[in-house]
Structures are given as structure tokens and as C-alpha cells.
């Protein structure tokens, strides 16, 4: 029996074992690979076909077999009606409906590239994503189609509507499916290193960047999590009792996030795990679903898991089916880690660190380890390597702070149409700069302490300060602006802004001005106006950290 994590991983990945690892390469980079991994997402879906229930949304209930049949019909529609070929981009923009998952299955099974668009984007942001990705087809619900129709410039793109009730000139997915008869996937298929997804992530400046990942990247992230789970079980003094119910997870985070698409959705195939999807986050409804659907796991940013802790303490709902409450997207306050451990009769807290660029995997920590180290993001996946470097690019000693770098099988291929960003991000061809300031302790636990990149992480949503600053500077009265993160108990961080303007501007007026330019979640919650130019360094840079510290003092947060 293994006594250490290292011994457990060595046993589980040895020759002949399910998670056998070997030294291979992906995208020309040397890395560790699973010998028994499905070659592409197409095989992942096919191997999961069963009569076990898979998708639940309101009155819709589909088995893994039923979902595969519906996805196969959609795939034929994409190939035969829209001419989607291997490498063509298909944008998906809607709420967490079953159709999101079915269209994703169809697109990736035939070698198309699923562009998982942020469903909160405004028309201009939608226009950028569609134009930048070169999407040939947009599959969208009514809310997103309404926004698409507000785009001023005409885009050469086909549209399929989902769950629309208003009259419109586009094809309806429901109508197309009524005529579809094929129940097997088309022969057209991807290769393991074919592009599979483009997920857009906000950078510190300018437009969001499209993160391109291939099938191998994504599948190895899924199996990497499985390996960690088996490793944790191997280290228990005795095996845990079998759960009373079949595995089920609550999908409350958006599917356009890697947490939702990978850790919640795609990880469910091999687990034969039922996904219960919510229209939008409502903690009372979540508690009701957990009780009625016997949910065993819930993964969400700290804001949502914190809401559930509060609800668990005051509700009469039976939440005892929950066995794990995972996190991601933003760090939890240490008090919340303890609260999860105390508030649920059977659930243990867990979290991890990952990025869209790593396909959501990186480090993980859970159970007693996490309760003892609530500020840590855990230890590195067996598939990946971490190192911390100083400004000269030299690796620092254990416990010293520097920029976190990562490399391995799950690291994304490239930023779409951004050779400049690729050159800035990749070091020596395979190490990826994360933009996080971190340190590793003597047991290999990772601690993220700051960010080099100028971002606010609000409830797991990355918001580039530069994008918000650019929108503010469009106001004719604003002369200078600085946007920064402000600590928030529920969301982890909120957006603060300090402006220098020629006249007093009411926040309500500014909110209205910004609502026409950026998505609602990017609008600063805390606004402070100065009557003099903002402080700058000798080289002319605005002293953002000083302004942020002043904001925390004004708000009583320091």
C-alpha cells in the first residue's frame, strides 16, 4: 500500500495499469501521456454511450445514449446543410441548455472547432469574437440572437436558433432535428492534435484572446483529474463506503468557462455522472435540486459555494448527498474552507489552480489537506511541471516568490491570430508564463500570492483592467483612469476605478454610459473621482497599487 502521494502515483501509472504514463509529445512538445487515453473527444463520447441518465434540465432528461443520438443528428446537419469541415469554427452562444452540450459534441466529433463564446458579451464583443475566430456558423439562443441582430456591421455567418419563440429569419435547431434521421456520427472526424476548442479569456489589455486547444490537451486534463482522485483514494487508511446514489453534479457555472466545460461537463462522461443544469444561479433552487436530484458534487467559484454554505446553515433541505464541494476560478477565503467542512454532513472541500490555457488543470487539493492549508492551491498534477522564476528567468529557491511557469500535456496550442501573445507567453518553446506571482513550499504545495497581469477575477470571471479603462476613457469628460481589484467577501474581487474628470460624473450616469460599451459584469462597482491628475511614477505610469490601497482604506477593507 502506498504511503505517500508520489508512491501512489508511481503505482497507478506503472506499465499495465489503467493510468499508465509514457514519455511522448504533443504539438511538438515533449510531455507525459496516458497510454490508454481516448485519442479524441469523439471516442470519449462514443465510449460513454449507455442507458445511464446524463442530462437533466427542467423537464428534459437524456441518457448518454440519447444524447449521442441527438448529437449525431446535429453533426449530420452541420456537415450536410452547412458544409462544416475539419478545422471550421462553429460558435456556440447560449445559456447552459442541453443544446449547448449536444452541439459541442456534434462540432468536436466531426473535427470542427467549438468556439465557446461568453454568453454575457454585448453586441460589439460578440462581433469581435465571431470575426476574430472566423466562425462559419453561430448556434445561439434567443437572447444571444437579439444581441447579434444589434451588431452594426453585417457579418457573413450562418445562424441556427435554439429555443427561440420570436419570429426570425434563421434556421431553428428544433425544426432541423425533426427532419433528421441519422443516428450515427458522420465519418468525418478529427485527429488527436486537431484543434478542438477556442475559449476566449480576458488579458490585461485590449480584446480577449482566443485560447486554442487540441483534443489531446483536453482529454489529458480529464484523465489527469481522474488520476488525482484515484491517488487520494489510494492514500486512505481504508476505502470509503460506496455512495448511496449514482454520481450527479450540479452545473451552475457557465459552460463557456473551462471550469464548466471541462471540470463539470466533459469530466462526466467517463464517470457516467448525471449533469443537472440550472438556468441561472439561485441558491435556494440549487439547494432544492441537490435534495431532489441527490447531487453528489458541486464545483463553482467561491461566491457560489459561499452562498451554498450560508443556505446549508439555514435551510431544512437534505444536502447529505453532497460528497464534494469543489472550487476554481478564484481563491476561497480560509474561513469558507472551514465552513464547507463544518456545514455539510458528508461533503469535503476541494479546490485547484488552473487556467483556460492549461485546460483548467494545474494543481489540486482537498479534504483534510485543504482544511490544514486553506491558502494553498494544492500540488501539481502528475502530467505537468511547475517552476517559479525571478526577473532574470532563473528558478528561485523553495519558499521564494516569483512568476509561476507551467508546462506539460494539457497546455494549450496557441492564442488564435496572436503570434505576439504566443511569443510573450511561451518560454523556450514549452514553458508557459502564467502571470501569477507564487511560491512553492518544501512539500510542493503551491501558493498564489499576486498577479503580474493586470486583471480582476470577479466570481471566477477574468476582467482585463485595460479593457474597462479604455471604455471609461471614451467618456468625453474623463481625462485619466485607473481600474483595479477590490477585495470582496462573496465574489473574491470587485472592480474599483479612480478617475480624473473635468466635471463631476454621477455613478448612475457612468453606469449607463458603460452599459452600452461593455458587459454588465465589467462595470466598476466602486468609483472614486479625483479633482486632480492621478499620481504617477517618474517614468509616467499611474500608481495603480497606491490607488488600490487608498480605495481599500476608503471602503474599510484594509
Domain architecture of the chain: domains with CATH: 20-37+213-451 (3.40.50.12780), 41-190 (3.40.50.980), 456-554 (3.30.300.30)
pLDDT of res. 303: 77
Cell numbers standing for residue 401? 516568490
Beta-bridge mates of residue 405: 387, 433
User: Where do we find the cell 505576439?
Assistant: 420
State phi, psi for 305 to the nearest 5 degrees: -65, -30
122-140 residue pLDDT tens: 999 999 999 999 999 999 9
274-277/324-326 β-pairing: unpaired
187-197 residue pLDDT tens: 999 999 999 99
pLDDT of res. 27: 96
Which stretches of 252-391 are DSSP H helices?
A: 258, 268-271, 283-293, 302-314, 334-343, 367-372
pLDDT of res. 312: 86
Q: How many other β-carbons are positioned within 10 Å of the β-carbon of residue 427?
A: 15
Measured distance CA(241)–CA(348) in Å, rounded:
15
312-363 residue pLDDT tens: 888 888 988 999 988 866 667 677 788 887 888 888 888 899 999 999 999 9
Q: Is the pLDDT of residue 435 over 70?
A: yes
pLDDT of res. 335: 74
Measured distance CA(246)–CA(346) in Å, rounded:
15
Q: Check: CB of residue 112 under 8 Å from CB of residue 90.
A: yes
Q: How many other β-carbons are positioned within 10 Å of the β-carbon of residue 186?
A: 17
Q: Check: CB of residue 412 under 8 Å from CB of residue 211.
A: yes
Report which of residues 250 and 503 the model is more confident about: 250
pLDDT of res. 489: 82
Beta-bridge mates of residue 87: none
- What is the SS3 string spanning 530-545? ECCCCCECCCCCECHH
Cα end-to-end span (Å), the chain: 48
Q: Is the pLDDT of residue 539 over 70?
A: no
Cα separations in angstroms, 167 against 122, 138, 145, 161: 22, 17, 11, 11
Q: Check: CB of residue 82 under 8 Å from CB of residue 136.
A: yes
pLDDT of res. 545: 83
pLDDT band at 541 (very low <50, low <70, confident <90, very high): low
Nearest to 9 by CA among 34, 44, 45, 41: 34
Amino acid at each position: 500500500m502506498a504511503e505517500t502521494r508520489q508512491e501512489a502515483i508511481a503505482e497507478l501509472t506503472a506499465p499495465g495499469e489503467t493510468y499508465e504514463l509514457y514519455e511522448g509529445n504533443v504539438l511538438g512538445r515533449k510531455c507525459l501521456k496516458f497510454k490508454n487515453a481516448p485519442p479524441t473527444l469523439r471516442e470519449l463520447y462514443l465510449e460513454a454511450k449507455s442507458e445511464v441518465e446524463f442530462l437533466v434540465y427542467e423537464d428534459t432528461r437524456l441518457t448518454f445514449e440519447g444524447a449521442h443520438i441527438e448529437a449525431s443528428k446535429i453533426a449530420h446537419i452541420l456537415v450536410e446543410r452547412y458544409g462544416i469541415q475539419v478545422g471550421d469554427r462553429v460558435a456556440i452562444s447560449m445559456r447552459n441548455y442541453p443544446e449547448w452540450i449536444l452541439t459541442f459534441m456534434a462540432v468536436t466529433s466531426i473535427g470542427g472547432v467549438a468556439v465557446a463564446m461568453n454568453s454575457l458579451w454585448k453586441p460589439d464583443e460578440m462581433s469581435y469574437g465571431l470575426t476574430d475566430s472566423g466562425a462559419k456558423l453561430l448556434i445561439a439562443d434567443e437572447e444571444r440572437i437579439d444581441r447579434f441582430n444589434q451588431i452594426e456591421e453585417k457579418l457573413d455567418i450562418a445562424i441556427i436558433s435554439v429555443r427561440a419563440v420570436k419570429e426570425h429569419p434563421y434556421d431553428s435547431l428544433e425544426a432541423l432535428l425533426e427532419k433528421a434521421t441519422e443516428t450515427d456520427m458522420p465519418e468525418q472526424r478529427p485527429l488527436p492534435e486537431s484543434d478542438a476548442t477556442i475559449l476566449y479569456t480576458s488579458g490585461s489589455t485590449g480584446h480577449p484572446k482566443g485560447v486554442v486547444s487540441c483534443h489531446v490537451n483536453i482529454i489529458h486534463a480529464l484523465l489527469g483529474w481522474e488520476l488525482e482522485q484515484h491517488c487520494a483514494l489510494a492514500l486512505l487508511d481504508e476505502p470509503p463506503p460506496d455512495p448511496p446514489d449514482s454520481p450527479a453534479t450540479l452545473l451552475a457555472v457557465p459552460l463557456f468557462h473551462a471550469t464548466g466545460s471541462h471540470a463539470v461537463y466533459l469530466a462526466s462522461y467517463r464517470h457516467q455522472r448525471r449533469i443537472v443544469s440550472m438556468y441561472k444561479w439561485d441558491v435556494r433552487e440549487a439547494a432544492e435540486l441537490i435534495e431532489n436530484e441527490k447531487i453528489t458534487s458541486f464545483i463553482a467559484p467561491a461566491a457560489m459555494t459561499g452562498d451554498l454554505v450560508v443556505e446549508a446553515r439555514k435551510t431544512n433541505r437534505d444536502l447529505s448527498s453532497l460528497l464534494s464541494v469543489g472550487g476554481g476560478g478564484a481563491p476561497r477565503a480560509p474561513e469558507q474552507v472551514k465552513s464547507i467542512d463544518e456545514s455539510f454532513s458528508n461533503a469535503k472541500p476541494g479546490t485547484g489552480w488552473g487556467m483556460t490555457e492549461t485546460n483548467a488543470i494545474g494543481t489540486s487539493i482537498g479534504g483534510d489537506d485543504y482544511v490544514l492549508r486553506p491558502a494553498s492551491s494544492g500540488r501539481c498534477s502528475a502530467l505537468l511541471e511547475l517552476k517559479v522564476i525571478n526577473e532574470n528567468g532563473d528558478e528561485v529557491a523553495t519558499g521564494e516568490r516569483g512568476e509561476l511557469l507551467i508546462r506539460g500535456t494539457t497546455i494549450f496550442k496557441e492564442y488564435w491570430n496572436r503570434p505576439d501573445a504566443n511569443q510573450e507567453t511561451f518560454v523556450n518553446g514549452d514553458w508557459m508564463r502564467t502571470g501569477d506571482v507564487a511560491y512553492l513550499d518544501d512539500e510542493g504545495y503551491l501558493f498564489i500570492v499576486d498577479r503580474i497581469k493586470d486583471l480582476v477575477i470577479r466570481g471566477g470571471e477574468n476582467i482585463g483592467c485595460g479593457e474597462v479603462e479604455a471604455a471609461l476613457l471614451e467618456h468625453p469628460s474623463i481625462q485619466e483612469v485607473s481600474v483595479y481589484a477590490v477585495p470582496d467577501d462573496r465574489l473574491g474581487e470587485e472592480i474599483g476605478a479612480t478617475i480624473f474628470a473635468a466635471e463631476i460624473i454621477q455613478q448612475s450616469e457612468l453606469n449607463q454610459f458603460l452599459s452600452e460599451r461593455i458587459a454588465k459584469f465589467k462595470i466598476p462597482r466602486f468609483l472614486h473621482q479625483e479633482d486632480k491628475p492621478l499620481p504617477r511614477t517618474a517614468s509616467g505610469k499611474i500608481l495603480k497599487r497606491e490607488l488600490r490601497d487608498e480605495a481599500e482604506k476608503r471602503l474599510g477593507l484594509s
